[in-house]
Amino acid sequence: MTLVICVVSRGRSNGKTCLIEALTKKFVGEEFRVATVKCIHIDFDTAKKDTWLHLKTGATVTAAITPTEIITIRRSKAPLLDEALGAIYFEADLVLVEGYEKSPYPKILYTDTALAALAAMKNISNIVMISGSIVSKAKEREMFTAKFPEIRVYDLEEMVSAIKEMLVKKVLRSLPGLNCGHCGHDTCLGLAEAILSREANREDCEVLSTNLATLEVDGIVIPLGKFPQQILRGVTMGVLNNLKGVDKHLKKIKLTIKTE
C-alpha cells in the first residue's frame, strides 16, 4: 500500500528537489517509510569501470558496495517510472518522485506564479496540490483558486497533513469497509490509522484474516464478517458431508447459486 506522488514543475526548477527534501524529512521524522525517485538524464555507471564490465557480461543486476552505500545498477533500454518503482526493495508508505509529469500518479505542482500554474493545468494531468513561492503571494493564489477552487495551494505543514489524509485513504481502500468493530476499532478508518502509525497490521482485520469463506455476487466480492463466514462454511460443509462421492479431504468448494 504505497502512495506514489510526483513533484512536477514547468521547466527546470530547484524547488522540486527542495520540496522533496522537506517532505522526506517531515515524513521520515514521523517514522513513515519513504523512498524517492529522481531521473538524472545521464548514465550513473561509468564506462570501463568494473561495475560497467560486470553488467556488460549480461548480468541482470550488479550491486556496488561502498563503505556506506549499496548501489544496485540494472540496465534497461527505456527505463520507465513503474520499473524504477518495482526496483525499490522495501515496502514504502510514500514514494516521492521528482518529475514524470506524464505519469498517471497524483502530482504536486511546484510553481511561482498563477499564470504558470494555469498553463500547467492544461498540460499536466492529476495535479492535486500546488506548492512553491505562489503560497506567499495572496493575489497569485486568488487568481489560481478562482479558476480551480478544488485544488488547494498549500504550505509545507498543510501539504504534510493532506498527504497523510491520502495515505489513510489508501490503506482504508484496502480494508473491507464493513465497520464491524471486530478488529478492536469502531470503524475501518480506526484500523487504517492504526496501521499507518504501526500500531496494527492489515491482518488485524478479522474479516480479511478469517478467510473461511468468500462470497461473490455478480462478479463482485462481498466482504463477510467472521460470523457469516462461519455460517456459510458450516452449512455448506454440513450438506457436503451427507453427499455420496464427496472426498472427505476436500480443500476448496466453489458454489454458484442462480437466483432465477
Residues that bind ligand SF4 (CB under 6 A): 175-176, 178-183, 185, 187-188, 191, 205-207
Rounded to whole angstroms, the Cα distance separating 33 from 21 reads: 14
Q: Which is nearer to ligand SF4, 25 or 173 (CB)?
A: 173
CA distance 145 to 152: 7
| Cβ atoms < 10 Å from Cβ of 128 | 17
CB atoms within 10 A of CB 216: 10
Buried b (16+ CB within 10 A) or exposed e, 45-80: beeeeebeebbeeeeeebeeeeeeeeeebeeeeeee
State the nearest-atom distance from the C-beta of 192 to ligand SF4, in Å. Answer: 8
Tell the smallest beta-carbon distance from residue 164 to ligand SF4 (Å): 19
Find the shortest distance in angstroms from Cβ 223 to ligand SF4. Answer: 6
Distance CA 70, CA 75 (A): 16
Residue nearer to ligand SF4 on the CB measure, 142 or 203: 203
Look at the chain and count its residues: 260
Shortest spacing between CB 197 and ligand SF4, in angstroms: 15
Cβ at position 224, least distance to ligand SF4 in Å: 10
Q: Are 233 and 212 in contact (CB under 8 A)?
A: yes
- Complex with ligand SF4: residue 109 or 200, whichever CB lies closer: 200
Judged by CB, which is closer to ligand SF4: 63, or 212? 212
Of 98 and 206, nearer to ligand SF4 (C-beta) is: 206
Least spacing, CB of residue 216 vs ligand SF4, in Å = 17
Cα gap 20→162, rounded to integer Å: 15
Question: In this complex, which beta carbon is closest to ligand SF4, that of residue 95 or of residue 191?
Answer: 191
Q: How far is the CB of 203 from ligand SF4 (least distance, A)?
A: 10
Q: Which helix (H) or strand (E) holds 36?
A: strand 34-38
Instruction: Count the neighbouring beta carbons within 10 Å of the beta carbon of residue 17.
Output: 14
Kindly tell me which of 107 and 185 has the beta carbon lying closer to ligand SF4.
185
- Residue 1 near residue 174, CB atoms below 8 Å: yes
